[in-house]
């Protein structure tokens, strides 16, 4: 009997040793995450200066001049280069509405980054209205590891979740979107498991001035920069490499999109409703703009969003649908396109006027109790 017990104990020891390393590793990871979370809670609650080109300058400007404006445009480079506040204000006045607007567009701003941006703006002030866009999707998140921008978009679990749902419910190549989701998970893990939190405790070398990355930031035009005035060498090189014939072929294909509009999936509709509701933290009036895109699959996405608005699935928020070629065919003239996402200044003027016209019509209709077509994105 004694020999049997001794033999059993001896067999149990190797089994315990086999589990020792996995348990130790798991304990170490959980301990690191717990410690980093405590550090984050103690050090990251207050306001901070984000070293993110364009966004940092615009936030700094609003901190000093928030009361100068009653309208904010939030979005990506399509907003940054695509909405002229002075023209918008003038057109709103011509239509009988009042506006003093600021262009808060930031190159490549994604939905998760916009969510964080709204939180930052809520600490600065409140405005009468905010205009959102259908944001571009995050496809190159690994480029952001270890940067302030990576923290800005993926520093919270909410940011990671929004990015994943955004990618899953968007059009485009499935493999490309799945790879984009994998990158989001990796960057989110870097931020959430504590590596990013610990790294942020170390002061990074750099100039005292906020970075611009050679991009033009023009506060004298309320944040708007005509795309022809951009000096960023990376963007200039990208534009120079565009195959114009191929771009124009895509635009012509997009103009020919026809038939019944597809139905917007409920997850995407819920994502848009959540985006709109979150924006009410900084303004009681929210509008949603779908920008024109050169690719047919994004025109179908725009048509689906327009249909959802008509069906009332996005609430009562005005949806200005400039991405549907049937509603805004004038914006799909090939000569207006600077590249696959942006229009030349002539196109920017047309977009700015269309937003002002439809938004004012929607607001006046809401006051009078009527329901103008602009709410569903029809042409004015």
**Distance, CA of 172 to CA of 157 (rounded, Å):** 25
CA 254 to chain centre: 23
Low-confidence winner among 227-236, 268-277, 344-353, 366-375 (lowest mean pLDDT): 366-375
Contact 142, 129 (CB under 8 A): no
307 pLDDT more than 60: yes
Domains, the chain, in order of start with CATH, read 52-136+211-380 (3.40.50.1110)
Backbone dihedral region of 149: left (phi > 0), alpha (psi from -120 to 50 degrees) or beta? alpha
pLDDT of residue 31: 60
Give the range with max mean pLDDT: 14-18, 191-195, 354-358: 354-358
Angle CA 137–141–146, to nearest 5: 145
**SS3 state at 257:** coil
Residues 219 and 61 sit within 8 Å (Cβ to Cβ): yes
- Residue found by looking up tokens 């993110």 in the block: 52
Check residue 213 and give its pLDDT.
59
**What does the chain come to in residues?**
380
Average pLDDT value over all residues in the chain: 85
Average pLDDT on 168-185 reads: 94
pTM, to two decimals: 0.84
Do residues 32 and 61 make contact, with C-beta atoms less than 8 angstroms apart? Answer: no
| Nearest Cα residue to 112 out of 191, 175, 40 | 191
pLDDT at 369 (0 to 100): 53
Write out the two tokens for 107.
Answer: 């190159």
Average pLDDT, stretch 28-40? 56
In this prediction, residues 108-137 reach a mean pLDDT of 96
Q: Give me 373's structure tokens.
A: 């077509």
DSSP character at residue 133 = E
Nearest-angstrom CA–CA distance, 145 and 198: 13
Give the model confidence (pLDDT) of 123-149 as tens digits. 999 999 999 999 988 888 888 888 889
Burial bucket for residue 5 (CB in 10 Å: 0-12, 13-18, 19+): exposed
CA distance 141 to 184: 6
Residue 146 pLDDT: 81
* Per-residue pLDDT band at 212 (split at 50, 70, 90): low
Do residues 117 and 56 touch, judged by C-beta distance below 8 A? no
Across 20-28, average pLDDT? 64
Answer yes or no: is pLDDT of 182 > 80.
yes
**Average pLDDT of 62-86?**
97
User: What pLDDT shows up at residue 200?
Assistant: 54
Residue 379, pLDDT score: 40
Q: At what angle do helices 55-65 and 111-122 cross, to 10 degrees?
A: 20
Return the exposure string of 118-146: e unless at least 16 CB atoms fall within 10 Å of the residue's CB, then b: bebbeeeeebebbbbbbbbbbbebeebbe
pLDDT over 90 (residue 207): no
Residue 372: pLDDT band (50, 70, 90) is very low
């Amino acid at each position: 009997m004694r020999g049997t017990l001794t033999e059993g104990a001896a067999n149990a020891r190797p089994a315990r040793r086999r589990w020792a390393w996995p348990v130790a590793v798991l304990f170490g990871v959980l301990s690191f995450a717990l410690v980093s979370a405590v550090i984050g809670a103690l050090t990251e609650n207050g306001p901070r200066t984000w070293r993110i080109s364009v966004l940092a300058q615009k936030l700094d400007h609003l901190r000093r001049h928030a009361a100068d404006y009653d309208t904010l445009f939030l979005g990506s480079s399509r907003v940054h280069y695509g909405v002229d506040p002075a023209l918008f204000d003038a057109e709103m006045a011509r239509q009988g509405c009042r506006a003093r607007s600021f262009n808060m567009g930031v190159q490549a701003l994604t939905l998760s980054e916009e969510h964080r941006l709204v939180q930052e703006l809520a600490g600065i002030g409140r405005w009468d209205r905010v205009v959102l866009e259908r944001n571009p999707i995050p496809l190159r998140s690994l480029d952001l590891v270890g940067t302030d921008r990576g923290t800005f978009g993926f520093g919270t679990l909410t940011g990671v979740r929004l990015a994943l749902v955004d990618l899953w419910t968007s059009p485009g190549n499935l493999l490309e979107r799945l790879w984009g989701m994998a990158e989001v998970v990796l960057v989110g893990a870097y931020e959430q498991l504590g590596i990013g939190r610990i790294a942020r405790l170390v002061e990074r070398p750099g100039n005292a001035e906020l970075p611009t990355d050679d991009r033009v930031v023009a506060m004298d035009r309320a944040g708007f920069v005509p795309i022809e005035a951009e000096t960023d060498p990376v963007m200039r090189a990208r534009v120079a490499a565009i195959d114009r014939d191929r771009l124009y072929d895509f635009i012509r294909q997009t103009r020919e999109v026809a038939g019944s509009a597809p139905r917007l999936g409920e997850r995407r509709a819920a994502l848009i409703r959540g985006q709109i509701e979150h924006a009410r933290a900084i303004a009681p009036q929210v509008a949603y703009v779908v920008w024109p895109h050169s690719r047919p699959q994004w025109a179908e996405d725009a048509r689906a969003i327009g249909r959802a608005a008509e069906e009332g699935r996005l609430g009562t928020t005005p949806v200005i649908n400039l991405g549907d070629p049937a509603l805004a065919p004038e914006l799909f003239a090939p000569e207006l396109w600077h590249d696959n996402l942006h229009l030349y200044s002539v196109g920017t003027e047309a977009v700015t006027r269309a937003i002002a016209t439809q938004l004012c019509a929607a607001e006046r209709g809401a006051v009078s109790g009527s329901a103008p077509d602009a709410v569903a994105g029809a042409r004015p």
